[in-house]
């Protein structure tokens, strides 16, 4: 897999990744991590967990990846790892390894993949989860409420009810059972950078979808 270390990138071999992961009690994966600050905060508070931020855009993760390499007293976290990859083509080293997966405020192809949903991409995401792992999504509903924006982005309608009706069976087919669906109005379940940008001081709705990877 391709990893980010500050402004530089390098390949981490499957063996080196397995070796790194073996030193931790679990793996938490944040897909479409953006600037990676959510992962860095989590890594600081959960030192026993390997916290992986993954995004298609390497540059956005550079600053968090640089900070993670500092000494713990200076805010560093050796358990934070930043990976450059697309959700459509996830590193095979992650297959069946993740104890928790988060997807916070996705946009572009990632938003389309989880909201339409695109079965193949969804199955690839689900394949990274261990049996019983939690997969949690936070989706900004604003683009779905505007017909023009929906058309432009090639999205169908989405709200809490449709999430259950339309996404439920598709997620189940990918091995993810949707449990609780919550609608947050102008409040943030997680203070991610984009969550703050989109929601704080607005009345934008965030749809929180909690699902769990099946045991079979």
Ligand X SMILES: C[S@@+](CC[C@H](N)C(=O)[O-])C[C@H]1O[C@@H](n2cnc3c(N)ncnc32)[C@H](O)[C@@H]1O
Question: Which of 84, 214 has the CB closer to ligand X?
Answer: 84
Q: Return the SS3 of 96.
A: coil
Rg (CA), the chain: 17
Residue 66 beta carbon to ligand X: minimum distance, rounded to whole angstroms: 17
Bridge-based pairing of strands 205-213 and 80-84 is unpaired
Where does this chain bind ligand X (CB under 6 A)?
Answer: 32-34, 55-57, 60, 86-88, 104-110, 192-195
Contacts of 138 (CB under 8 A, 6+ apart): 102, 103, 104, 105, 189, 190, 192, 195, 206, 207, 208
DSSP annotation of 60 reads: H
Residue 40 beta carbon to ligand X: minimum distance, rounded to whole angstroms: 12
Question: Which of 125, 167 has the CB closer to ligand X?
Answer: 125
Residue 24 beta carbon to ligand X: minimum distance, rounded to whole angstroms: 22
* Residue 130 and residue 212 in contact, taking contact as beta carbons nearer than 8 Å: no
Bridge-based pairing of strands 129-140 and 176-185 is unpaired
Question: Which of 32, 91 has the CB closer to ligand X?
Answer: 32
Residue 198 beta carbon to ligand X: minimum distance, rounded to whole angstroms: 8
């609608």: which residue's tokens? 183
Question: Which of 132, 197 has the CB closer to ligand X?
Answer: 197
Question: Which of 87, 122 has the CB closer to ligand X?
Answer: 87
d(CA 66, CA 146): 38
* Residue 118 and residue 170 in contact, taking contact as beta carbons nearer than 8 Å: no
d(CA 176, CA 132): 9
Question: Which of 26, 143 has the CB closer to ligand X?
Answer: 143
Residue 172 beta carbon to ligand X: minimum distance, rounded to whole angstroms: 22
Residue 87 beta carbon to ligand X: minimum distance, rounded to whole angstroms: 4
Find the residue with minimal CB distance to ligand X.
34
């Amino acid at each position: 897999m391709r990893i980010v270390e500050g402004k530089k990138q390098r390949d981490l071999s499957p063996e080196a990744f397995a070796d790194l992961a073996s030193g931790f009690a679990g793996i938490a994966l944040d897909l479409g991590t953006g600037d990676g600050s959510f992962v860095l905060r989590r890594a600081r508070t959960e030192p026993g967990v390997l916290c992986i931020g993954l995004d298609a855009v390497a540059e956005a993760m550079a600053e968090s990846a640089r900070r993670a390499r500092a000494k713990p007293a200076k805010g560093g976290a050796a358990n934070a790892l930043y990976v450059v990859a697309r959700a459509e083509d996830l590193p095979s080293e992650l297959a069946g390894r993740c104890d928790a997966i988060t997807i916070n405020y996705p946009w572009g192809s990632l938003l389309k993949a989880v909201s339409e949903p695109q079965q193949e991409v969804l199955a690839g995401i689900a394949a990274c989860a261990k049996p019983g792992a939690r997969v949690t999504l936070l989706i900004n509903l604003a683009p779905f409420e505007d017909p023009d924006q929906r058309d432009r982005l090639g999205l169908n309608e989405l709200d809490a009810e449709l999430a259950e009706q339309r996404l439920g069976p598709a997620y189940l087919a990918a091995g993810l059972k949707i449990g609780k669906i919550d609608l947050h109005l102008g409040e943030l379940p997680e203070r991610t950078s984009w969550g703050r940008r989109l929601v704080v001081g607005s009345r934008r709705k965030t749809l929180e979808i909690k699902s769990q990877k099946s045991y079979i």
